[in-house]
Amino acid sequence: MASRRQRAAWHTLVGCGAAVAFLCCVAVLGATLLGMRLWPRMMILHPTRIAQVSQQIARYRLPEGYKELFASDLLGFKMVAIGPTGAQAGLLTIVLLQLPPVEMDDAALRQQIEEAVAQQTGLGNVVLRPAGRQKVTIRGQTVELTLQRGTTPDGQVVQQLSGMFDGTNGPVLLFISGLERAWDAPRIAAFLASIE
C-alpha cells in the first residue's frame, strides 16, 4: 500500500497534470522542437513576472488559499497555472492558456486542442472521458464548458472542466482539474465570475 506521502505526491501530480497537458498542446500546435529546447527558459517562477503574464491573459481574483504557481510565455502562447498554496492534494488546479491569433473558428480550434490534450496526456495514467457540458458567463460572454472524468490507479475520480473565451489579448483556453471528492463548484463559479 502506498504511503501517505506517496499518495499526496500522486494527487499533486494529477492536479498539476492539466498544466502539463497545455504544454503538450503547445507542442502539438507547432512548437515541439523549439519548445523542448527552450523549456528551462519558458518556465516563469518569479511572482511579479507571473502576474505580468497573467494580466496579459485576463484579470481575475484568486480563490482563497490559492496562488499563481508558474507562468509561460513562448511563441505567442501565454499560460498561467493556479493552485493551492499548501500541500492540499487533490484540490483544484486552474490553467489559463492564451493562444496566438490563428485563422480558425473557435469551435474547431477548441475541439482540436481538446483532442490533442486527450491524445498527448490523460493526466498520467488517467484517461479523461466526456461527462457533460455546462454554459457559464465569462467576461460577458456565454461560454460552453466541457466536463471530463477519469479514474486514478488507486480508484479516485478526477474531473476536468474546460472551455474557451475571449481574453484580454485573444482566445483563452481554461482548464480546471481536481479530484471529484474535493470538487468545489461554488469556488469554481466564483473564480469564473471574477474573470474580467
In this structure, are residues 160 and 175 in contact, taking their beta carbons and an 8 Å threshold? yes
pLDDT for 133-163, tens place per residue? 999 999 999 999 999 998 888 888 989 999 9
Cα separation of 124 and 151, whole Å?
A: 11
Instruction: Give the C-alpha distances (Å, rounded to integers) separating 31 from 22, 37, 75, 98.
Output: 12, 10, 8, 14
In this structure, are residues 160 and 147 in contact, taking their beta carbons and an 8 Å threshold? yes
All 3 cell numbers of residue 69? 504557481
Cα separation of 7 and 10, whole Å?
A: 5
Cα separation of 80 and 19, whole Å?
A: 8
pLDDT for 112-139, tens place per residue? 655 554 444 345 567 788 999 999 999 9
Query: What CATH number is given for 4-194 in this structure?
Result: 3.40.1000.10
Domain ranges of the chain: 4-194
Segment 60-88 shows an average pLDDT of 87
pTM: 0.74
Confidence of residue 7 (pLDDT cuts 50, 70, 90): very low
Query: How much is the pLDDT for 142?
Result: 95
> Is the model's pLDDT at 111 over the cut of 70?
no
pLDDT for 20-57, tens place per residue? 454 444 444 444 444 445 555 568 999 999 999 999 99
